[in-house]
């Protein structure tokens, strides 16, 4: 088990919910093992600098960086080599972000575990990696057809030996070669859905993701639901009912929580999501979705971040 964390997932669920509302934690962070800009070591240093009491590494479709984080922290979170401002060490929650399909569109599911190497899920990640590689090759071929001399080897220039490359790495190449001004611009111009170089990736169903995470002893949480347009107009009286119905259905499939406090969610969106989660008995999590880049994602949370103002009416 991961030192100092609850030893079963029900207690982990309570821990994630309580600490997320209280704040000073960040349970959605990416490293160079997927599309983040910072190595696990740099992330740990940033976590300590930001005085976070707990954090999770949630790389896309891989948990390869979890062991490195634990190695940096020492024998476990309770013996971290660095300390926060109050002298305590940050707790670490092993996690992952999985791309799945729901109603013919891409949805992301966060998985949180009490174990750094949860059993039985490695084959699922391997299948996800193969699907990602097939999409990468198809998109590179489209980019080459459009006149951009990019290769798979080029993607690895923006990662490490075990990086699982993807569209962000294509975007970085396009920026470096003067094709686009920013990562966001590359998605808007070429790489986003419906754009000239976009290719759909084969993704497994959301039910399968819930099943695999559950089978490995983990907790399934929907990542950034506001990005899918699910929150609509939070001030609309019907918004709560629609969102409640959607998450009630997903809870029956195995969902355990909602990322209510995302780095790019607005105050009313956070309040709406927290209310729905409370009504359904789902855990509420906080994650900045930090990637270490300023033009495409939010900054990492810090020790002063609190979300209790958004749950006063939700319990």
Asked whether residue 312 carries a pLDDT value surpassing 70, the answer given is: no
Count of CB atoms situated within 10 Å of the CB of 133: 15
* CATH number, residue 83: 3.20.20.140
The answer on 63 and 80 residing in a single domain is: yes
- Both 143 and 252 in one domain: the answer is no
Clarify whether residues 49 and 104 are in a common domain: yes
Quick check: is 260 in a domain? yes
Please give the pLDDT value at position 176: 94
Domain co-membership, 240 together with 144 = no
Confidence of residue 85 (pLDDT cuts 50, 70, 90): very low
Same domain, 114 and 220: yes
Q: Specify if 269 maps to a domain.
A: yes
Check residue 75 and give its pLDDT: 44
Question: Residues 217-256: pLDDT tens digits?
Answer: 999 999 999 999 999 888 888 899 999 999 999 999 999 9
- Is 198 contained in some domain? no
111 & 165 share domain:
no
Instruction: Specify the 3-state DSSP secondary structure of 37.
Output: coil
Q: Which one, of 56, 62, 47, lies nearest residue 257 by Cα? A: 56
**For residue 22, is pLDDT > 60?**
yes
State which of 150, 169, 191 marks the end of a domain. Answer: 191
In 3D, which of 211, 6, 210 has the Cα closest to residue 93? Answer: 6
pLDDT tens per residue across span 88-100: 679 999 999 999 9
Q: Given pLDDT bands bounded at 50, 70 and 90, which one contains residue 4?
A: low
Residue 1, domain member (yes or no): no
How many CB atoms within 10 Å of residue 210?
Answer: 22
| Cα radius of gyration (the chain) | 19
- Based on the fold, state whether residues 178 and 253 are members of the same structural domain: no
User: What's the confidence (pLDDT) of residue 193?
Assistant: 87
Over 90: is that where the pLDDT of 203 sits? no
In whole angstroms, what is the distance from residue 220 CA to residue 162 CA?
25
Task: Out of 191, 214, 241, pick the residue that ends a domain.
Answer: 191
Take residue 291 and report the two structure tokens written for it.
Answer: 């990637």
| Residues 122/215, Cβ–Cβ less than 8 Å | no
Mean pLDDT, the chain, integer: 89
User: Residue 147 has which token pair?
Assistant: 């006149």
- What is the number of structural domains in the chain? 2
Q: Which two tokens stand for residue 305?
A: 């971040």
- Helix, strand and coil percent figures for the chain, each rounded to 5: 40, 15, 45
Both tokens of 163, joined, read: 């990086």
CA distance 63 to 162: 11
CATH number for the domain including 165?
1.10.150.650
Confidence at residue 104, expressed as pLDDT on a 0 to 100 scale: 86
- 8 Å CB contact between 311 and 18: no
Q: Which helix (H) or strand (E) holds 36?
A: none
Within a domain: residue 291? yes
From residue 168, give the alpha-carbon distance in Å to each of 28, 33, 62, 128, 177. Answer: 17, 12, 16, 17, 14
Residue 181 tokens, joined = 């001004």
**27 touches 311 (CB < 8 A):** no
Q: What is the full DSSP assignment across 76-143? A: SGGG-SS--TTSPPPEEEEEEEEEEEETTEEEEEEEE-SSSS-TT-HHHHHHHHHHHHHHHHHHHHHH
Chain segment 134-177, per-residue pLDDT in tens: 999 999 999 999 999 999 999 888 877 778 888 989 999 999 99
What's residue 29's pLDDT? Answer: 98
- Whether residues 252 and 300 fall in one domain: yes
Do residues 239 and 99 share a domain? Answer: yes
Q: Is residue 104 located within the same domain as residue 169? A: no
Task: Please check whether residue 273 lies inside any domain of the structure.
Answer: yes
Residue 287 to residues 71, 74, 120, 159, Cα–Cα distance (Å): 23, 24, 26, 23
Burial class of residue 129 (count of CB atoms within 10 Å of its CB; 0-12, 13-18, 19+): middle
- pLDDT at site 31: 95
pLDDT band at 78 (very low <50, low <70, confident <90, very high): very low
Both 212 and 288 in one domain: the answer is yes
Nearest C-alpha neighbor of 253 from the set 226, 222, 284, 288: 222
Domain match, 25 and 86 both: yes
Q: Which of 191, 216, 233 is the last residue of a domain?
A: 191
Range of the structural domain that residue 82 is part of: 9-118+204-310
Question: Is residue 2 situated within a structural domain?
Answer: no
Q: Please give the sequence-ordered ranges of beta strands (E in DSSP) within 170-262, or none if there are none.
A: 219-222, 257-262
């Amino acid at each position: 088990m991961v030192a100092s964390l609850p030893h079963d997932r029900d207690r982990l669920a309570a821990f994630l919910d309580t600490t997320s509302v209280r704040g000073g934690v960040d349970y959605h962070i990416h490293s160079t093992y997927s599309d983040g800009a910072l190595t696990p070591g740099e992330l740990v240093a940033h976590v300590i600098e930001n005085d976070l009491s707990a954090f999770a590494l949630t790389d896309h479709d891989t948990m390869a960086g979890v062991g490195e984080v634990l190695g940096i922290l020492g024998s476990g979170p309770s013996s971290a080599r660095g300390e926060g401002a109050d002298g305590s060490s940050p707790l670490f929650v092993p996690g992952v972000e999985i791309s799945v399909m729901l109603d013919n569109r891409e949805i992301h599911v966060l998985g949180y575990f009490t174990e750094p190497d949860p059993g039985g899920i490695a084959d699922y990640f391997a299948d996800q990696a193969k699907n990602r590689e097939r999409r990468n090759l198809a998109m590179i071929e489209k980019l080459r057809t459009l006149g951009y001399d990019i290769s798979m080897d080029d993607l690895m220039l923006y990662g490490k030996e075990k990086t699982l490359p993807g569209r962000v790495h294509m975007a970085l190449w396009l920026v470096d070669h003067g094709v686009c001004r920013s990562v966001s611009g590359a998605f808007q111009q070429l790489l986003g859905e419906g754009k000239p170089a976009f290719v759909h990736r084969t993704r497994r169903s959301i039910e399968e993701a819930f099943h695999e995470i559950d089978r490995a002893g983990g907790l399934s949480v929907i990542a950034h639901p506001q990005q899918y347009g699910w929150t609509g107009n939070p001030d609309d009286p019907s918004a709560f009912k629609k969102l409640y119905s959607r998450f009630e259905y997903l809870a029956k499939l195995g969902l355990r929580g909602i990322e209510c406090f995302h780095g790019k969610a607005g105050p009313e969106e956070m309040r709406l999501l927290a209310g729905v989660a409370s009504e359904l008995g789902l855990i509420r999590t906080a994650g900045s979705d930090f990637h270490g880049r300023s033009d495409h994602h939010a900054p990492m949370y810090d020790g002063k971040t609190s979300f209790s103002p958004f749950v006063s009416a939700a319990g």
